[in-house]
Amino acid sequence: MRAPPSAGGFNSPWTLAIRAAADQGRPRRAIALYLASLRSSCRPCPFALAAVLKSVPRLPEHAVLPAAASLHAHLLRLGLLSHPYPHAALSHLYSHLLPPHHNHARGLLDDAPTPLNRHSLVSSNSLLASLLRAGDIPAARAMFEAMPARDVVSWNSMVAGLAKAGHLDEAIEMFDQMPETNVASWNALVSGFMAQGHLAQAQELFERMPTRNNVSWITMISGYAKAGDVQAAANLFDRMGSKDLYAWNAMISCYAQNGCAREALGIFNRMLKPHIWVVPNEKTFSSVISACSQLGDLRFGLWVENFMGYVGVDLDDHLRTALVDLYTKSGRMDRAFDLFRGLRSRDVVSYSAMIVGCGMHGKLNEAVGLFKEMSKARIDPNAVTFVGLLSAYSHAGLLEEARACFTSMTSRYRINPSMEHYTIMVDILGRCGKLEEAFQLVMQIPVCPDASVWGALLLACRLHNNIELGEVVASKCFELEPQESGYYILLGNIYAQAKKWDKVKGLRKMMAERGLSKTPGSSWVHVA
DNA sequence: TAACGAGCGT
């Protein structure tokens, strides 16, 4: 009997396709292709299996461990566990999943039947990398020193690990000692400079690199994104030659995280153009949904949700949470609740998204209920949770409850109030006529209060027609945002109410001098 | 042409 056709060497079409899918960050496609290769009665290919194993960590979180376990069983059944490629890939996979010291990779390593030298070096590198990932620098250093053989990957791991842990000087020293470097060595160093905020030095190093790959470009782009330099990131993105999925994701996320929601959706559209057509994945959609949410663009969001089904991206908990945020912001609370209840596991982020949504729409009972529910589940609230809760109380006009909540946030949960918390408290105190207390609270803010805090207080002064405090507060607002006409109008209204027409006139003059005009629809004389 | 180097949601 003839052997079935082989999916054999690493150049067979199936194996190539599987490796391509794995490299593109499409784990489900890699697995599907592998299964298809078996169905078309190809012999299981160890190289293809290695690629599939490599892509497993990119599955949705809940699917990673089951996939690892069933592939492990599959390898055992086929007798391919001792083949160096899948063996190394499986060790590496386990070293991602488990802490390095009671590492499954260790066990696999010890059980391996007299591995090739090359194989043992790869496995050692994998273990070294997992020590560094766990942040155990001393153990990694000891292991590196004790290794009988090292290659460029061992050195790269050390350079990257040291740089990431903040030991930039040592990383540079190590880099200089390397017998040979490759593009990954340079990337590791560039990434270290970026992470420590040395942007100019990173850029200089980047320009000096003998060769650059996509990782080099993406490291720079996401570094600038984190530093908030959108323009620098965009310039690099434009200079980049062939952009892969990761590059598009980095740029979309850069825009979305820096408040440039329109630009984020713009380049998302660009990557879908027929002559570009890069298939988006989970990461793409989570940035895109976040951009929709910033714009309150429900219709595009609904289209995106549909489109995700079309390209075969399924709703994981991250995406559900992003959608919860979008739907609450667009007032679709029923839909948001459905998604929230469908979460595999709820955490502080998803609870907070839901509580903030309830706070925004005056659903006090629901907000408080969710807060109790998360406490019961022993999920600690964070600053965002309290933004939601406080705004729910504020919305309902419950001053005492808001005060108690604010106190418990700082004293019981040890959360430092942010400007947003202060703004909500000032707003409710002000609306309840406690102007003096609101002012005292503003004075207690340890850092310089921003315009939103002063603005809330000014609004309260207008509500209760307090000229003396209003003048003080308005001058702060003018100082912080001289071009914002709303503050002048609020103060003008306070003057008009008290029939201080000369003061109104003075304000008008001030506005004209600063090139401001009264926004249409707002009035300050007729209200009097 | 395994292992190192890119990363999400309030």
Q: Does at least one atom of strand B sit less than 7 Å from the CB of A129?
A: yes
CB hemisphere CA count around A233 (13 angstroms) = 28
Q: Flag whether A139 is in a domain.
A: no
User: If you average pLDDT over residues A198-215, what whole number do you get?
Assistant: 92
Share of chain A above pLDDT 70, in %: 92
Q: Flag whether A473 is in a domain.
A: yes
Number of domains chain A is built from: 1
In chain B, which nucleotides are within 7 Å of a protein Cβ? Answer: 1-10
Q: Flag whether A446 is in a domain.
A: yes
The backbone torsions φ and ψ at residue A43, rounded to the nearest 5 degrees and listed phi first, read -70, 140
- Nearest-CA residue to the C1' of B5? A184
Instruction: Select from A350, A355, A353, A385 the least CA-distant residue to A370.
Output: A355
Domain hosting residue A479, numbered range: 433-528
Residue A1 has pLDDT above 80, yes or no: no
Q: Flag whether A71 is in a domain.
A: no
Strand B, CB < 7 A, residues 258-317 of A? 282-283, 286-287, 290, 293, 317
pLDDT tens string A249-269? 999 999 999 999 999 999 999
Helices (H) and strands (E) in chain A, counts: 30, 0
Question: Which of the nucleotides lies closest to A329 (Cα–C1')?
Answer: B10
CB hemisphere CA count around A460 (13 angstroms) = 26
Identify the band that residue A185 occupies on the pLDDT scale cut at 50, 70 and 90. very high
- Report the pLDDT value the prediction gives residue A4, as an integer from 0 to 100: 47
Look at the block and give the residue holding tokens 């590492």: A103
Distances (CA, A) of A272 to A103, A242, A276, A324: 42, 15, 6, 25
Measure, in angstroms, how far nucleotide B4 C1' is from residue A227 CA: 25
Identify the band that residue A508 occupies on the pLDDT scale cut at 50, 70 and 90. very high
Q: Does at least one atom of strand B sit less than 7 Å from the CB of A420?
A: no
Angle formed at CA A229 by CA A226 and CA A230, multiple of 5 degrees: 95
Identify the band that residue A107 occupies on the pLDDT scale cut at 50, 70 and 90. low
Find which of A19-33, A101-115, A360-374 is predicted with most confidence, using mean pLDDT.
A360-374
DSSP letters for A357-377: HHHHTT-HHHHHHHHHHHHHT
Q: Does at least one atom of strand B sit less than 7 Å from the CB of A124?
A: no
For A43, the 3-state DSSP assignment is strand
Q: Flag whether A37 is in a domain.
A: no
Report the CATH number at residue A491.
1.25.40
Q: Flag whether A510 is in a domain.
A: yes
Strand B, CB < 7 A, residues 237-256 of A? 244, 246, 250, 253, 256
Q: Flag whether A207 is in a domain.
A: no
Instruction: Select from A51, A14, A46 the least CA-distant residue to A33.
Output: A14
Q: Flag whether A448 is in a domain.
A: yes
Instruction: Select from A105, A107, A149 the least CA-distant residue to A127.
Output: A105
- Report the pLDDT value the prediction gives residue A385, as an integer from 0 to 100: 97
pLDDT tens string A153-184? 999 999 999 998 889 999 999 999 999 999 99
Angle formed at CA A121 by CA A119 and CA A125, multiple of 5 degrees: 120
